[in-house]
């Protein structure tokens, strides 16, 4: 993919944003954690790597469009009733042909033990297991899903539960 104007939604401590910026992408990382954003702002001083506090459900407030939007491990924190709002929010910062990559927990991940949600003790957050059907239903109005597959993310050490690391990887293009 050619470097372009990129949004890292739920950027956390900015590792992916930093990686993309070092590969020539012009990156804005956003997170609703002011602490994470301030840490990144104090750490990174590059013209093509900026950070801002923003709720993923209100990306419209950024008032700009991106060629590429990246969401690594944010979508599975969005409450089921807010999923459509999230898709609309992503749509508001993309234009026809913009690419979106989302990585989220799969419902086949055994840490969920068949349940649809899990409370992460160490992160103090709720995570939701996503089926391919739920993902398709969430994004299909605004985005063409070009690829949707499971992959192994890496050893999970953050959670008490051990288990497999199945994640969904979703490649989409704005209609
Ligand atoms: C599991 S972390 C992933 C961080 C980073 N993307 C990474 O992979 O290293 C999820 C991040 O999403 C952020 N987040 C969760 N819900 C959010 C929302 N509604 N708006 C903005 N950020 C959110 C959290 O603050 C956290 O930094």
Chunked into runs of 10 residues, the chain (175 residues) has average pLDDT values of: 95 97 98 97 98 98 98 96 98 98 91 86 86 97 96 60 71 98
- Phi then psi for residue 22, to 5 deg, are -75, -10
What separation in Å is there between the alpha carbon of 168 and the centre of ligand 1? 16
Q: What is the radius of gyration, based on Cα positions, of the chain?
A: 16
Atom 27 of ligand 1 has which residue's CA nearest to it?
12
Q: Report pLDDT for 162.
A: 43
CA 94 to chain centre: 14
Helix (H, G, I), strand (E, B), or coil: what is residue 136? Answer: helix
Separation CA 119–CA 29 (nearest Å): 25
What number of other Cβ atoms are within 10 A of residue 6's Cβ?
23
| CATH class assigned to 55-174 | alpha beta
What separation in Å is there between the alpha carbon of 37 and the centre of ligand 1? 11
Q: Report pLDDT for 154.
A: 65
What number of other Cβ atoms are within 10 A of residue 82's Cβ?
13
C-beta separation of 66 from 118 below 8 A: no
What separation in Å is there between the alpha carbon of 138 and the centre of ligand 1? 19
Separation CA 167–CA 81 (nearest Å): 21
Q: Report pLDDT for 39.
A: 98
What separation in Å is there between the alpha carbon of 173 and the centre of ligand 1? 22
Atom 12 of ligand 1 has which residue's CA nearest to it?
10
Where does ligand 1 bind, in terms of residues with CB under 6 Å? 10-12, 15-16, 31-33, 36, 55-57, 72-74, 77
Residue 109 buriedness (CB in 10 A; 0-12 / 13-18 / 19+): buried
């Amino acid at each position: 993919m050619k470097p372009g104007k990129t949004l890292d939604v739920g950027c956390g401590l900015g590792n992916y944003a930093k990686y993309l910026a070092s590969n020539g992408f012009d990156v804005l990382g956003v997170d609703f954690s002011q602490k994470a954003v301030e840490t990144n702002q104090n750490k990174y001083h590059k013209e093509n790597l900026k950070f801002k506090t923003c709720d993923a459900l209100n990306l419209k407030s950024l008032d700009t469009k991106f060629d590429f939007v990246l969401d690594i491990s944010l979508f599975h924190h969005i409450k089921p009733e807010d999923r459509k709002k999230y898709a609309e929010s992503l749509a508001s910062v993309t234009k026809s042909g913009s690419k979106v990559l989302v990585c989220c927990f799969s419902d086949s991940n055994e840490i969920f033990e068949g349940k649809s949600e899990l409370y992460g003790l160490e992160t103090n957050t709720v995570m939701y297991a996503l089926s391919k059907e739920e993902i398709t239903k969430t994004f299909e109005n605004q985005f063409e899903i070009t690829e949707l597959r499971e992959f192994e993310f890496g050893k999970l050490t953050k959670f008490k539960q051990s288990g497999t690391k199945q994640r969904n990887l979703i490649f989409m293009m704005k209609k």
